[in-house]
Chains A and B, each alone.
Chain A
Amino acid sequence: MFKYVKHLNYPINIKKKDLKMAKCLITQFGGSNGELAASLRYFSQKFSMPDEKGKALLNDIATEELGHCEMICTMVRELTKDATVEELKAAGLENIYAEHGKGIYPTDASGVPFTATYFAVTGDVIADLYEDMAAEQKARAVYENLIDLTNDEDVLGVLLFLRQREVVHFNRFKELKDYYKKKGY
């Protein structure tokens, strides 16, 4: 069961329109290394975790990642909401506009829609946790690429926060993997 909390995980207040950044940023919602894939990955894997620690950690990180989806979407919305059709065309977003208007749809930076094939569930706790560790590293790398693409402090602050969460999650997953290895899994 989930309960909605009516505030973001970290404050977002973007004042400048930036369509090219929005086009790239959307991948952290609907791309292969994005927050939606992360959330669904851990949510799905939690059902085959063998003990309390694994069930709790995957459940709780999955929940946090859903909050991060909301943050990415909020950023994309704020970066694009005041754009004219001409500006959208100039930024190469007319194909997105044709399908979705100014709505927020989970795709990667090239417009490829989200798919569940971005993540795996093997039922094997060690294989799943190695995937989770890799996923956190890939998400961190993508956040670093995105940080390289902007000078807007309102965007940078949020990206740095989200990037650091990948660092924390990686450490927790690694610790859990080491614990299960020691237990003989």
Chain B
Amino acid sequence: MLFDNTDFNFDIGFFKIPGSDFNVETRTDKFLTPEEGFMRGNLEKGSFIPYKKYTYFELKAENEQERMLLRLMALSFAINDLNLYLDLHPEDMENFQLFKKYANELNDLELDYVKKYGPIVVNETDGEMFNWVKNPWPWDDKGGSMYV
């Protein structure tokens, strides 16, 4: 079967964000860290299938906003991939704990991010004006972080 689990040896560096301590992670036997999974597009160990010579590209944050947003996106990614797995394995307590850990961390980080840089979901809009409306929107390429 084409996509049955095959072990693949990665010849790549770890995900590193300057000034971060994000490389220390809880992992379970089944899943990679949020950053490892996010860069690959696949959180599950052993199921990454590369194409030709390509593996994946490193993501680099250039400032504090990008650093926070990249972590936030990596956590969102990990939560989404665990979400799909848990849809089929709601009884897996170990990985449900991992899901909760990431969900809590995302909530805390998002509160911090939103205070500094504006809302990510509309009900987080706060402050002097309705800044939900503000550029950049995710499909804009200028005027803000490359990651938004």
Cross-chain contact of B139 among A74, A147, A164, A174 (Cβ < 8 A): A74
B59: chain A residues at CB < 8 Å are: 11
List 8 interface pairs A-B (beta carbons < 8 Å), by A numbering. Answer: A7-B138, A11-B146, A137-B2, A147-B51, A160-B51, A163-B51, A165-B42, A167-B42
- Over the window 1-43 of chain A, the binary record of Cβ atoms lying under 8 Å from chain B Cβ atoms (1 yes, 0 no) is 0011111111111100000000000000000000000000000
> Chain B nearest CB: distance from A79 CB in Å?
11
Contact residues on B (Cβ < 8 Å of other chain), bracket: 35 or more
Bound Cα distance A78, B38 (Å): 22
Query: SS class of chain A's interface: helix, strand, loop or mixed?
Result: helix
- Quick one: given A162-B41, A168-B84, are A70 and B119 in contact (CB under 8 Å)? no
B88 and A7 contacting across the interface, CB-CB below 8 Å: no
Q: Which of A53-61, A88-96, A120-128 lies at the interface?
A: A53-61
8 Å CB interface, A153-179 against B: 153, 156-157, 160-165, 167-172, 174-176, 179
A160 and B139 contacting across the interface, CB-CB below 8 Å: no
Cross-chain contact of A168 among B1, B42, B56 (Cβ < 8 A): B42
Tell me whether B102 is interfacial, beta carbon within 8 Å: no
Q: Which residue of B lies closest to A55 (CB)?
A: B87
Bound Cα distance A12, B148 (Å): 8
Q: Which residue of A lies closest to B66 (CB)?
A: A11
Contact residues on A (Cβ < 8 Å of other chain), bracket: 35 or more
User: Which A positions have Cβ atoms within 8 angstroms of B?
Assistant: 3-14, 52-53, 56-57, 60-61, 64, 70, 73-74, 77-78, 81, 137, 144, 147, 153, 156-157, 160-165, 167-172, 174-176, 179
Given contact pairs A60-B80, A164-B41, A172-B84, enumerate 20 new A-B contacts (beta carbons under 8 Å): A4-B121, A4-B122, A5-B120, A6-B137, A8-B139, A11-B73, A12-B141, A57-B88, A60-B87, A73-B139, A77-B139, A78-B141, A81-B141, A163-B41, A163-B51, A168-B47, A171-B44, A172-B87, A172-B88, A174-B1
Q: Which of B38, B80, B85, B120 has the most CB of A within 10 A?
A: B80
Bound Cα distance A164, B8 (Å): 14
Query: SS class of chain B's interface: helix, strand, loop or mixed?
Result: loop
A144 and B138 contacting across the interface, CB-CB below 8 Å: no
A167 and B146 contacting across the interface, CB-CB below 8 Å: no
B83 and A60 contacting across the interface, CB-CB below 8 Å: yes
8 Å CB interface, B66-83 against A: 69-70, 72-73, 76-77, 80-81, 83
Q: Which residue of A lies closest to B118 (CB)?
A: A6
A81: chain B residues at CB < 8 Å are: 141
A156 and B54 contacting across the interface, CB-CB below 8 Å: yes
Cross-chain contact of A13 among B1, B3, B141 (Cβ < 8 A): B141
- Quick one: given A7-B120, A7-B138, A10-B73, are A53 and B88 in contact (CB under 8 Å)? yes
- Over the window 106-139 of chain B, the binary record of Cβ atoms lying under 8 Å from chain A Cβ atoms (1 yes, 0 no) is 0000000000000111100000000010000111
B138 and A167 contacting across the interface, CB-CB below 8 Å: no
A160 and B41 contacting across the interface, CB-CB below 8 Å: yes
